Amino acid sequence: MRDGATLKFGGKEFHSRLIVGTGKYPDYPTMQKALEASGTEIVTVAVRRVNLDRKQESLLDYIDLARYTLLPNTAGCYTAEEACKYARLAREVGMSELVKLEVIGDPRTLFPDNEELLKATRTLVKEGFIVLPYTNDDPVFCKKLEEAGAAAVMPLGAPIGSGLGLRNPHNIRIILEQAHVPVIVDAGVGTASDAAIAMELGCDGVLMNTAIAMAKDPVLMAEAMRKAVEAGRQAYLAGRIPKRLYASASTTMEGMIE
């Protein structure tokens, strides 16, 4: 039973179990309101070139660093070497050892290259990073990442940005049974019920971006996701009834007139 009151990894503790990305919002003020509505305490960011041609608003002007922990990603990296470089650059900008480690293997599916991912995890753990790897819903591989020192494992529910929900909840259950580190479903969530399902299974958290940012009303969806994650967590802790094929009356037959 994963019944901790808080989400803990790498010596840090969080009350919210929802991690939210900062990409794809219509504008920064909407993002800011959505983050607020989501109740999140951890937001993902990317490391990219400063735009020198035109004055840009800075993302960091819209993120209260006293309130949110930045989780830099290595999105767009295709090799362990490249991902490690981005992690180190992120540490340099963000003054944090946290990294959402992504090593992509294929541009259409954005599925991870697990071989490179494992290599990068080992390297970064050695360098003192708190590594949160994005990986497949593969129990064997999640175990390997844990053994390599990952602070949590983040299996995908479905491809990034697909909104297909948890395609293989059974694998997620096996991962949960085996893991001694937090399990955070990263990617695939489309709507509130998807997040609730992940949490009902016993996941320690859910990470999402597109489902909120690309919703018609991102702020309202962010609030829905907060409630879904909380509801799913409560349902997990409460312990659901077993499924059964036939009915079981809620009202007694006793006391009926003859």
Partner 1 sequence: MQIRLNGKTREVAEGITIRRLLDELKLHPMRVAVQRNQDIVKRDRYDEVVLQPGDTVEILTMMAGG
Site string for partner 1, 167-196 (x = CB under 8 A): ------------------------------
For position 120 contacting partner 1 by CB under 8 A, the verdict is no
Count of CB atoms situated within 10 Å of the CB of 126: 10
CB 50 to partner 1: min, Å = 5
For position 215 contacting partner 1 by CB under 8 A, the verdict is no
For position 240 contacting partner 1 by CB under 8 A, the verdict is no
For position 162 contacting partner 1 by CB under 8 A, the verdict is no
Instruction: Specify whether the CB–CB gap between 15 and 6 falls below 8 A.
Output: yes
Q: Rounded to whole angstroms, how far apart are CA atoms 101 and 114? A: 11
CB 70 to partner 1: min, Å = 7
Q: Is 126 marked active-site? A: no
Burial of 168 (0-12, 13-18, 19+ CB in 10 A): middle
Q: How long is the chain? A: 258
For position 70 contacting partner 1 by CB under 8 A, the verdict is yes
Map tokens 């702020």 to a residue: 219
Q: Rounded to whole angstroms, how far apart are CA atoms 241 and 237? A: 12
Instruction: Specify whether the CB–CB gap between 207 and 21 falls below 8 A.
Output: yes
For position 45 contacting partner 1 by CB under 8 A, the verdict is yes
Active site residues per annotation: 100
Q: Give the interface with partner 1 as residue ranges (CB under 8 A).
A: 21-25, 31, 44-50, 52, 58-60, 70, 72-73, 75, 88-90, 92-94, 160-161, 209-210
